[in-house]
Amino acid sequence: MKNIKKLLVANRGEIAIRALRAASELGIKTIAIFTLEDKYSLHRYKADEAYQIGEDDNPLKPYLDIEEILRTAKEAGADAIHPGYGFLSENVQFAKRCEEEGIIFVGPNYKVMQQLGDKITSKKVAVECGVPVIEDNKQALTNVDIALTEAKLIGFPVIFKASAGGGGRGMRVIRKEEDLEKAFIEARREAGNAFGDDTIFIEKFIENPKHIEVQLLGDREGNLVHLYERDCSVQRRFQKDVEVAPAPSLAQETKDILYEYAL
């Protein structure tokens, strides 16, 4: 794998600043992108070069424009793109297009993302690996009628989730049948705006769960380790407010089981 000499960060705000700073500390030249609405945002001033994308005043849509981001990267001489999180970070097509253009995608190979970047598919992979998952409808919801049928089969309360992303976007809890249609429309619209993909599915909603994550680190040589767990249960609107490591109220036996499932 060739060394990265010039990196474009395809994101905005805090995550862009963090990626730009890390690259600079490694001696890598940096490129920021920004929309018209973000022209005074701090992240553009933290890079060696910065370029506006999009010509209208839509503050977010240009960050989902794969071809414009790639064009900007090539014109600026970038040999790598860091997607940050959200936006195109879990977009299989973006990772694939980077490879086709000879640009390093700082993240998983697109073939891995095809299995794990899409929540519907990744849950199927988890089941095949013997990992227990929350009950869901196992496929994309294409209309309200199908969503209602699946919700009744699973049993209320249920939750809509965006298949292509996270960060609390495209998620709606439905506790009774009459609230489903509005939630379906809102969840699809929000998922489409945030990730460029309005695919949603439905899961059984668990009241007051523990949200425990196991961090994994792997390389292109097949080496894989876990970096233990963190408790992300303190949330607001499905976005994590506090992360505590190690998880303070989880038995070591349970932690060991989670590590095994993760690897």
CA 175 to chain centroid, in Å, comes to: 26
- The whole model's pTM is what? 0.71
Nearest to 4 by CA among 21, 19, 23: 23
Q: Output the pLDDT for position 195.
A: 83
- Contact criterion met (CB below 8 Å) for 263 and 215: no
Residue segments in the chain with a per-residue pLDDT below the cut of 70: 1, 117
Q: Domain count of the chain?
A: 3
Residues 6+ apart with CB under 8 A from 78: 6, 7, 8, 31, 103
Residue 106, token pair as written in the block: 């700082």
Q: Output the pLDDT for position 90.
A: 83
Q: Tell whether 105 and 126 lie within a shared domain.
A: no
Q: Tell whether 162 and 101 lie within a shared domain.
A: no
Q: Output the pLDDT for position 24.
A: 97
Q: Tell whether 157 and 194 lie within a shared domain.
A: yes
5 catalytic per annotation: no
Active-site choice (96, 124, 204, 240): 240
Q: Output the pLDDT for position 3.
A: 87
Q: Which residue has the tokens 């705000």?
A: 13
Q: Tell whether 154 and 88 lie within a shared domain.
A: no
Q: Output the pLDDT for position 1.
A: 57
| Within-domain flag for 128 | yes
| Within-domain flag for 1 | no
